[in-house]
Structure 1
Amino acid sequence: MSVFLGVDGGGTKTEFVCIDDSGQVVARALTSTTYHLQVGLDEAVRRLAEGLGSVCGQLGVSATDFRYAFFGLPAFGEDAVIDPQLAAACGRLLGHDRYACDNDMVCGWAGSLACADGINLVAGTGSIGYGERQGRKARVGGWGEMFSDEGSAYWIAIQGLNAFTRMSDGRVPIGPLYASFRETLGLANDLDICAKVMGEHGMARDAIAGLAPIVSQAAEAGDLAAVAILDLAGAELASLAGALRARLGFSANEAVPISWSGGVLTKLERVREPFLRQLQTRAPYDLIAPRHGPGVGAGLYAALLASDREHALCAESK
Structure 2
Amino acid sequence: MSLHLGVDGGGTKTAFVLVDERLTVLAEASGPTCYAFPADAAKVRRVLADGVAAVTAAAGVDAAALDSAFFALPGYGEASADVPVLDRVPGEVLGHGRYRVGNDMIAGWAGSLAGADGINVVAGTGSIAYGEWAGRSARSGGWSELFGDEGSGYWIAIRGLNAFSRMSDGRAARTLLHARLLRAFGTDRDFDVIGVVGGEWAGDRTRVAALSRVVVDAAEDGDPVAQGIVADAGRELALLAHAIRAALEVPAGETVPVSYSGGMFTAPTVLAAFGAALGSGYRLAAPVHGPAVGAALVALRGATRP
Normalised-by-shorter TM-score class? over 0.9
What amino acid is aligned across from residue 74 of structure 1 in structure 2? Answer: P
Distance 1:203 1:246 in 2: 35
Distance 2:93 2:184 in 1: 40
Higher mean C-alpha displacement, 122-131 vs 56-65: 56-65
The total of aligned residue pairs comes to 306
Residue 275 (structure 1) aligned with residue 274 (structure 2): yes
Distance 2:284 2:176 in 1: 33
What does residue 181 of structure 2 align with?
181
Q: Which runs of 5+ in 2 are unaligned?
A: none
2:39–2:85 CA contact under 8 A, matched in 1: no
Residue 212 (structure 1) aligned with residue 209 (structure 2): no
Closer, same or farther: CA 39–212 of 1 in aligned 2, 3 Å: farther
Q: Which runs of 5+ in 1 are unaligned?
A: 312-318
What does residue 143 of structure 2 align with?
143
Distance 1:38 1:233 in 2: 28
What does residue 307 of structure 1 align with?
304
Distance 1:69 1:189 in 2: 50
**How far off is 1:82 after superposition?**
1.3
2:153–2:210 CA contact under 8 A, matched in 1: yes
2:9–2:73 CA contact under 8 A, matched in 1: yes
TM-score in terms of structure 1 length = 0.93
Deviations along 1:138-163, whole A, 9 cap, x unmatched? Answer: 10000100000000001000100001
Distance 2:303 2:210 in 1: 36
Query: Any residues of structure 2 matched to 1:275-294 within 5 Å, and which?
Result: 275-280=274-279, 283-294=280-291
What does residue 124 of structure 2 align with?
124
Distance 1:215 1:44 in 2: 32
What amino acid is aligned across from residue 64 of structure 2 in structure 1? Answer: T
Q: Give the % identical residues.
A: 49
Distance 1:126 1:23 in 2: 28
What does residue 199 of structure 2 align with?
199
1:195–1:202 CA contact under 8 A, matched in 2: no
What does residue 169 of structure 2 align with?
169
**How far off is 1:6 after superposition?**
0.2
Deviations along 1:156-208, whole A, 9 cap, x unmatched? Answer: 00100001001101111101110111111123421111121111543411111
Distance 1:38 1:96 in 2: 25
**How far off is 1:13 after superposition?**
0.8
Q: Which runs of 4+ in 1 moved over 2 A?
A: 37-41, 200-203
TM-score in terms of structure 2 length = 0.97
**How far off is 1:34 after superposition?**
0.9
Secondary structure of 2:37's match? Answer: helix
Residue 156 (structure 1) aligned with residue 156 (structure 2): yes
1:45–1:86 CA contact under 8 A, matched in 2: no
What amino acid is aligned across from residue 10 of structure 2 in structure 1? Answer: G
| Alignment RMSD (CA, Å) | 1.5
Secondary structure of 1:132's match? Answer: strand
Secondary structure of 1:31's match? Answer: strand
